[in-house]
Amino acid sequence: MDDAVALHRMPRWYVTLFFSDALERFGFYGLQAILVLYASAPESRGGLGLATVDAASLFGAWIGFMFMLSLVGGWVGDRLLGNRRALLVGCLVSVAGYLCLAVPAGWAAAVGLPLLGIGGAVYKPNHQAMINRMFGGSSGREAGISLMYVATQVSALLAPLVIGYLGERVSWNLAFGVAAATLLVTAVQLAVTAGQFNGVGARPVRPLTPVERRAVARRTGLVVLVAAVALIVLALAGVLGATLAIALVGVLSVVVPVVCYVLLYRNPELGDDDRRRLRAFLAVYLGATLFWMIVAHAASLLNLFARDHVDRQVLGMVVPASWLQVATPVFILVLAPVIAAVLRGNTWGTTGPRHVAVKLAIGLLLVGSGFLVMSVATVLASDGALLSPLWLVVVYLTHACGEVIIAAVTISAAADVLPPGFMGRTLGMLWLFAGLGGGLGSGVVRLAEVIPEPVYYLGIGFVAALCGLGFLVCRRALTRGLTVESVVKVAAADG
């Protein structure tokens, strides 16, 4: 297998995974661009007719649901289907989800959004697993993964332009239909190129034994039965609706990461030094949670602000509100190489625990300052005036800079917290805590309904800035907590 990867010369299997990820992310970022607008649009215009606060909560709840299931999705690939077959299944489930959203009926959205969450949860971790398995230990892996990140940002740029325009200007149903077609192309591509992978991912790495299969079948059946009975009871009681569903997902997205963290912490294979580092890394998990909770506002309240309070007239045309979300991927594509070059030329660019706290602080201070800018913007828009889109562009600039720093430092630091056999679980916890950010966000945005918007943005911006300063103040303690015990002893001896 030729694993030498360069930007101008890639193996065929890499091209397949590259384009499948770009197409799958196109659907994801298209949904991110229009979900809150679709949910808040009146039923007469093809929307769901949800109250603004429910629509704003919906995206956070949905992404929390998807991230919450990501560990299960990885397990499905590792133990049940095989990573490559799980990719195909994830795509097909997502196709079904988008097709449901393309049906002009409220019940279809209630079915489609969970299907999309399940499809994404199965697809994404198994895509990452296939990349790592196909590269193995080759030197091209880092360059290949970096190129995948560029593809993700290109999809994040194009999806709002296409899906956003179709949804806001033509038909929500057509926009979801195009997303379904994109995922169907992805599934067909994965099916017809199966031979490129030489059997890798065709079978689970550690298949379930017959006894384990029966146990999983019983437990899954019990969970499905309990969930079905609960839904029927709630429906008969007349309380089943978007608000309750969002609240339930929000609660689960908080409970599941806590339970999984405790189970990982109590794993008997971990030593005292491992648990010490895992305790310290909880601060990193929570810092990332706060960051992603704030960034998720781009698809909810910031999207609604763009629709209602921004002057979108350009050359006689009213630009769709969703198009403003293009700013973040554009900034990431432009700034990521610059930030990487700055870090390489600075001691902060070194890997290891030494500068984790400083980088987290910078990311949180950036997004906190963005929300302080939003606080001023909402004051200026309170009299009904339409503001320049530059206000939101500045906020998205802080998001992009923060994302480049936070994403890199959390993934890099997580790889060194526990022994190599726990790397997948440690990284998987990042997904769960990102889901926690989405779940918390689905509840936090409701505060915008009961307190003035300037106070809402000022409060969250202040909390983010305060946490960033906290990381700076406690940077030495966090460094000691994340450092392997033998290194700590050597440093103490040298001191």
- Residue 142's SS3 state is helix
Cα→Cα distances 343→170, 355, 415, Å = 44, 11, 19
pLDDT digits (tens, 9 = 90+) for 214-243: 998 898 899 888 888 887 887 777 766 667
Is 372's pLDDT higher than 80?
Answer: yes
75 compared with 282, residue with greater pLDDT: 282
Provide the pLDDT for residue 244: 74
Instruction: For 198-211, write each residue's pLDDT tens digit.
Output: 988 888 877 888 89
pLDDT of residue 239: 67
Dump the DSSP string for 259-283: HHHHHHHT-TT--HHHHHHHHHHHH
**Per-residue confidence at 15, pLDDT binned at 50, 70, 90?**
confident
- Closest by CA to 227, choosing from 235, 238, 239, 237, is 235
> Tell me: the pLDDT tens digits for 94-109?
999 999 999 887 778 8
pLDDT tens profile 407-446: 878 877 877 788 877 776 787 788 889 888 888 888 888 8
Average pLDDT of span 7-17: 77
Q: Is the pLDDT of residue 3 over 80?
A: no
**Could you tell me the pLDDT band of residue 343, with boundaries at 50, 70 and 90?**
low
DSSP category for residue 298? G
Q: According to the model, what pLDDT value does residue 453 have?
A: 93
Can you read off the two tokens belonging to residue 489? 């002893």
> Which secondary structure element, helix H or strand E, spans residue 447, and what is its range?
none
The answer to whether 439 and 253 have CB atoms below 8 angstroms apart is yes
Examine the pLDDT at 387 and tell me if it is beyond 90: yes
Residue 402 has pLDDT above 80, yes or no: yes
Any bridge partners for residue 318, and if so which? 313
pLDDT band with cut points at 50, 70 and 90 for residue 88: very high
More confident residue, 440 or 460: 460
Estimate to the nearest angstrom the gap between the alpha carbon of 23 and the chain centroid: 16
Distances (CA, A) of 281 to 271, 321, 480, 492: 15, 38, 11, 21
At residue 368 the predicted structure's pLDDT band, cuts being 50, 70 and 90, is very high
Token digits of residue 89: 């299944």
Give 60: exposed, middle or buried? Use CB within 10 Å, 0-12, 13-18, 19+.
buried
Distance CA 108, CA 168 (A): 19
Taking 3-state DSSP, the helix, strand and coil percentages for the chain, each rounded to the nearest 5, stand at 80, 0, 15
Residue 350 clears pLDDT 70, i.e. is over it: no
> Are 41 and 104 spatial neighbours (Cβ–Cβ below 8 Å)?
no
Q: Is 49 left (phi over 0), alpha (psi -120 to 50) or beta?
A: left
Nearest Cα residue to 424 out of 171, 107, 100, 206: 206
pLDDT average, residue stretch 350-378 = 88
Whole-number pLDDT of residue 355: 80
Q: At what angle do helices 475-482 and 272-295 cross, to 10 degrees?
A: 130
Give CATH 1.20.1250.20 domain extents, the chain: 9-207, 241-495
Domain 241-495 CATH class label: mainly alpha
- The identity of residue 186, as a single letter, is T
317 in helix, strand or coil?
Answer: strand
Nearest Cα neighbor of 374 from 269, 273, 295 is: 295
Nearest of 443, 455, 454, 325 to residue 54 by alpha carbon: 443
Give pLDDT tens digits for 118-168: 999 999 888 888 887 887 765 566 567 767 777 788 899 999 999 999 999
Per DSSP, 8 falls in state T
d(CA 349, CA 340): 8
Q: What is the pLDDT of residue 241?
A: 66
Architecture per CATH, domain 9-207, reads as: Up-down Bundle (1.20)
For residues 468 and 101, the answer to whether their CB atoms sit within 8 Å is: no
How far is residue 100's CA from residue 301's CA, in Å, rounded to a whole number? 25
With beta carbons less than 8 A apart as the criterion, state whether 297 and 316 touch.
no
**Mean pLDDT, the chain, whole residue set:** 85
pLDDT score recorded for residue 353: 67
Higher pLDDT, 71 or 324: 324
Report pLDDT digits (tens) over 296-324: 999 999 999 999 999 999 888 889 999 99
